[in-house]
Structure formats: C-alpha cells, structure tokens
Structure 1
C-alpha cells in the first residue's frame, strides 16, 4: 500500500528515536510515532483484514521489535521509487513517473528472531521539492543516497546531496551510497571503483550497486539497513540498562536517590546513537 504526503512527518521528542511496542516493559519507554493521520495509516495498512480501528492500531504497534525510518534521496530518475517498490511489493513498475513530494511504504523484515518494521520514505529529486524533502532528514535513522551508474550527472550531484545530509540529518545517521541501474552494463558511465572511492572518502557506512529491474542487491540493501540499525539499537539498550543498574546500585549504597549522569540521559534520549 502506497502512502503519499506533501507535508513533513511529525515525530515526537528526539529526532533519532526507534519506536518499539509499548508492552515491552524491559525496554526503555519511548514515545510512539505521531503521524499526520494515525487512523488513516492504521486502517490503510490493515484494510484487507477489515480490522476495527482499535484492533488495527493494536496490531500495528505490537507486531514488531523496532521501527526505523529510512529516507531515499538523489536526483530525479535514478530509480528510488523502483527500488522501494521492488523491495516492498516485488514489482518493477514500467514507465514509473517522477515522485511528487514524498511517498512512503512499510515492510516488516526479520533480523535474527526480531521483527523489524522499516518505514521507507521515497523523496522527490526535483529542485522544487527540496524544501519539503529536507525536513524528512531530521528524524531519519538511515539515509540512502542513490545515483544512476548510467548517468554521470546524477553522480556529479552527490556532493550537493551529501551537503544537505550533513546540514539537516542527525550526525549519527546511517549513510548508505547506492549506484543503481547496473543492468545497463553497456551504458555505464560511472565505474564501480569511482562510486566506492566516493563512499570511502566521504565516510559512508555502506556502498553497493543495485538494479531494481533484475532485483540485483535490492533485498541486500534494505537487509543491511535493518541489521545495522537493529545492532546499534541493541547496543544502546544494553548501555541504558547498565546505566540504570549502576544508578540503582549507587542509590542503594548511598541510602537515597541519585541523578543519572548526563551521559546516560543523553544516551537514553538519542536512543539509537551509532559508534
């Protein structure tokens, strides 16, 4: 099911929260996401099951371990929408028109024994939509920057896109560089080595080449996103639990409550900080 929004997503508290089901008492309690229309989202995602609103909301919130927001950016025509639809729906839409504003789709994947819900935002690449798409960087857990290996200009624009990411996104956001349309072998203009070098020099967390047409590395791309974010989240959870345990022990030894150190509180607020 495809969702379309022209206005920014409203998220509560820190822009770098990973959302979790409320019933997990052993996990830190975090705010649940606030969408422009929760009723629309919950009912649309479960419309084939014809669930009442309260049941659909319960199902949506509890059937996953973490929810991560993934934003795809890059020039118009590089294949962002095709990548998203290939991963979420298993189809390659022929004659796909340019995205207007921002669209998003949701898919649940497994990381180990955990269900991870990916909220994947497909942004428009045209200049006139930049002011809209920039607002989506702030709450992203991962940003996927896409270029077309058969279009040198799309690669030449990467420094501009990278500048926007550095200006508007959280400094600890997971950054992935993707060279798409590798199926156009005879038309390739950007060698893989050039893309990999750009990724290394600019400190991206991961680089790979993909094809939405023949599904090359499409699943691997989003599985990497889910795995890396989940691992980071679990590390952060362990640290938060250790901070709380240390604070409790200190409080018991001193006979009274003590305040958590600033570092612990900062870690709890950011919740998904990366190494």
Structure 2
C-alpha cells in the first residue's frame, strides 16, 4: 500500500490562491483575451478535485527567464518569491531556480521559475536548461532600449531548445519606476509592437516598487496551469524531471534529432 506521507504537501499560502482568471496588463498585447477559465479545463478541475487523492493532483510547469545581463531577472524573481529587493546583487552564474506553489480552481499547482545567466560566457550552460519549458519570459530593461532589441535573439535561442508551439511567451519590461510617464508610453508602444511580432504577451513591472510583479506571475501561473490541464484532456503521460517533480508531457512522437554538442 502506497505511503501517502511521502506525498504530503503543506497548505498553499493564502496569497497564492487564484480563484479568478487573472487579467492581462495591456489588451493590445494579450495572449488570451478572456475573463474566465476554459470551460473544459474548469470542468476537469472540478471533477479531479472531487475524486482524486491530493498527492495524485500535483502539477508543475517550468518557466525560464531569459535576457541580457543586468536587466533585472534575479530582482524580479526575488521580489515575487521572497518579497525582497536588493539593488546590490551578484550576477547569476549559470542558472538558479525557485518553486512557487499555487492553488488554482481548487487544484495544487507549482511553477518552477528558472533564472538564467545573461552573460555570454554562460550561454552554453543556461541553454541546456531551456529544454522542457512551458513558459518563456524574455526580459528587457526599460531604461536601456538596446536590451529590448536583444529580446528577439534570446527568444529564438530559448525556442530552439523546445518543441514548436509548446511554450507561452511573455515580453517583460523591468525598472518601470525609472521612467517618466511620457517615456513609459513611448517605450510601451514599441514593446507592444514587438510583442505582436513575437506572439508574446507584454507586461511592464518594477521590482523595486513591486508594481505589477504579483499580477504578472499570477497571469503566468494561470496560463501555464490551464495549458497543463488542456494537455491532459488531449491525452498525456506522466513523467518526472528535476527532483522527481510531477509534470505532464505530450505523447506525440517526434523524429529523432541529432544530439547537439555545445561547449563553453
């Protein structure tokens, strides 16, 4: 008989319970224009919450955060996961990650948030961790227009390690607190245009003040969770990654690919 103590999970914090589908930041750059959960996903959540054991309902999705050095990737993650802001931080070496637990539609859900290095010398290390992503967050510094121009290449590299159409994409501008209202409006127009080309959803945040940070990650979690439910309904198999965390992966067969050899 399976020992359920091995699968015990502590209660989800109240501030991580998502009841309503989170709204987008800018309707002009929105991945999903809707105000409620997908009806099929909602029904599946209700049925599973009623009949399945808690340990059998664990779901996890992987989000990778990419972008230039010093655009604020680590500060963003620390603000959401630890509610702290430290302007004097050390650059990420290789990769790091946090796991945030949510409850959506009564179902426990975890989001792995992978913080990748922006330095060129660590790209070959970080790229290996792009694989298996369900969400790609491309980050730029709103006070440095060059970092916005570089997001396209970061996205290309991240998508190269994943199956076509397997990832939800976000374009995220940080350090909005450094911008005047006029500069914000001008840059936002450029970012919305680029987001449309990248088929991404645009958001603007400030890790220093916390502006839009929680709202952004709630949106990411909701979309990733709903995608996981819909993949289940289409027919899936369970497999483990990382430290044995349970996720869902498509059963679709893909042609054998030549193993890529990388080095630093």
TM tier relative to shorter chain:
0.5 to 0.7
**Partner of 1:96 in structure 2?**
89
Normalising to structure 2: TM-score of the pair?
Answer: 0.66
Question: In the alignment, is residue 82 of structure 1 matched against residue 31 of structure 2?
Answer: no
Contact 1:64 1:117 in 2 (8 A): no
CA gap of 1:207–1:160, structure 2 versus 1, over 3 A, is same
Instruction: Please list the CA deviations of residues 118-156 of structure 1 after superposition, one character each: whole Å capped at 9, or x if unmatched.
Output: 111100000000001111111111110000000112112
Contact 1:103 1:123 in 2 (8 A): yes
Count of aligned positions? 192
Question: In the alignment, is residue 234 of structure 1 matched against residue 229 of structure 2?
Answer: yes
CA gap of 1:64–1:223, structure 2 versus 1, over 3 A, is farther
Structure 1 ranges of 4+ moved more than 4 A: 187-190
* Farther off after superposition, 224-233 or 144-153: 224-233
Taking CA–CA contacts closer than 8 Å with sequence separation of 6 or more, which of the two structures ends up with the larger relative contact order? 2
Matches within 5 A, 1:104-253: 104-171=97-164, 172-186=166-180, 188=183, 191-204=187-200, 206-240=201-235
Structure having the higher Rg: 1
Q: 2:8 aligns with which of 33, 41, 59?
A: 59
Q: How far apart are the structure 2 equivalents of 1:140 and 1:239? A: 19
**Partner of 2:257 in structure 1?**
none
Contact 2:95 2:114 in 1 (8 A): yes
Shift of 1:116: 1.1
Shift of 1:77: 0.5
Listed as ranges, the gaps of 5+ residues in structure 1 are: 1-22, 24-53, 242-266, 271-275
Normalising to structure 1: TM-score of the pair?
Answer: 0.64
